[in-house]
Amino acid sequence: MIISIITLFPEVFTYLDFSIIQRARNKGIAEINLVNPRDFTGDKHRTVDDMPYGGGRGMVLKPEPIYKAINHVKQDERGESFVILTSPQGILFDQSIARELSLKKHLVFLCGHYEGFDERISNAADMEISIGDYVLTGGELPTQVIIDAVVRLIPGVIEQESAEKDSFSNSLLDYPHYTRPQEFEGTKVPDVLLSGHHAKIEEWRKKEAIKRTLVRRPDLLEKAHLTEEEKKILEEVLIEEMRIMEDG
C-alpha cells in the first residue's frame, strides 16, 4: 500500500517512524510519503490560506494548492487512489472502516488546519472521516490514528490471528490479558489461564469479552453478529449480572 499525506506540517509525523508501522515500511508493505501543499503555490510567500468570504474568524485553506498536491500524488496510481479528508463533519471512524481501507492500494490523506478547507476541496475526497466528536488543531493527529489502525490490518504486518482477535474485530471488546507475576498487589491471574485446558481458556475468553462489552460498551452488542454459542454466553452473562444487582 502507498500512503500519501498532504499536510502543512510534515515534521509532526515522526510517530510513523516507530513500532509496527516502521516495520511495515521496512518490509516494503507500506510506503508513506509526505507532501506539503506549499510546494504547489505560485507566489513567493507560498500562500495556502486566505480570509473567508462573508467575513468571520480565522483563515481558510485555498483549493488550488490542495488540488495540485492531490493530482501530483495521484498521477502514478492509474486511478486507484482513494482520497480521505479528516474532518469533524466526517463519518465516525471504526474498525470496519479501517478494514475497508486496508484493502486499498493508494490512500491519500488531506490534513486540514486553521478554520478548515474551502468547501470545494471536499469534492476531491472519496470519504470524510472523523475520529470523534471533538475539535483538534489540525488533521495530522487523526490521520496518524487512522493510518495506525489501517496499516496493522494489511496482510503480513502482524500475525493474522492477532488482528482477528483485536477489540472491535467482531464488534466486541477484547478479553482481559495477564502475564507474570501470577499475583500482583493482591490480584491473581484467573485459575483457568493456568490450567492448560485450551478449550476452557477459549470459553473463558469469549465470556469475558462479552461481559466486558456488556458492561463498558453495551451499544456494540446491538450491531454485533454473534454466533449461537456467543448468544448463549450473553444470556448467561445477563443472568449473572442480574443476580449481582439483586444481591447488591
Question: Which residues are part of the catalytic machinery?
Answer: 88, 115, 152, 166
Give the CA distances from residue 185 to residues 101, 182, 189, in Å, rounded to whole numbers and listed in that order.
Answer: 42, 10, 11
Cell numbers given for 35: 507532501
Rg over alpha carbons for the chain, rounded to the nearest Å, is: 23
- Exposed, middle or buried, 99 (CB in 10 Å: 0-12/13-18/19+)? middle
**CA trace torsion 84, 86, 91, 97 (10° rounding):** 50
Cell of 69: 498536491
Residue 117 DSSP label? B
DSSP-derived secondary structure letter, 169 = T
Q: Is 70 exposed, middle or buried (0-12, 13-18, 19+ CB in 10 A)?
A: buried
**Mutual orientation of helices 19-26 and 140-151 as an angle, nearest 10°?**
60
Per-residue CA distances from 190 to 123, 183, 187, 195, 204 (Å): 54, 10, 9, 9, 10
